[in-house]
Amino acid sequence: MAVGKKIWIVPDCELPDEGEGILKGHESVIIVNDDVADAKINVTLYFTDKPCYDKIEWTVKAKSVRCFRMNNPSDMSGFTVPKNTQYAMKITSDTNIVLQYGRLDNRQVNLAYYTTLGYSE
Q: Any idea where the domains of the chain sit in the sequence? A: 5-120
Kindly give, in sequence order, each residue whose CB lies less than 8 Å from that of residue 78, ignoring residues fewer than 6 positions away. Answer: none
Q: Tell me which amino acid residue 114 is.
A: Y
CATH domain 5-120 topology:
Hypothetical Protein Tm1070; Chain: A (2.60.290)
Note the pLDDT tens digit of each residue in 29-45. 999 999 999 999 999 99
Mean pLDDT for the stretch of residues 7-33: 84
CA distance 105 to 98: 23
Confidence of residue 99 (pLDDT cuts 50, 70, 90): very high
Contact 9, 37 (CB under 8 A): no
Instruction: Please report the pLDDT score of residue 26 as a whole number.
Output: 74
Instruction: Please report the pLDDT score of residue 65 as a whole number.
Output: 97
Mean pLDDT for the stretch of residues 82-87: 93
Instruction: Please report the pLDDT score of residue 16 as a whole number.
Output: 78
Mean pLDDT, rounded, of the chain: 88
The answer to pTM > 0.85 is yes
State yes or no: pLDDT of 25 exceeds 60.
yes
Taking phi first (over 0 means left), then psi (-120 to 50 degrees means alpha), and beta for anything else, what does residue 45 get? beta
Mean pLDDT for the stretch of residues 88-111: 85
Mean pLDDT for the stretch of residues 94-107: 86
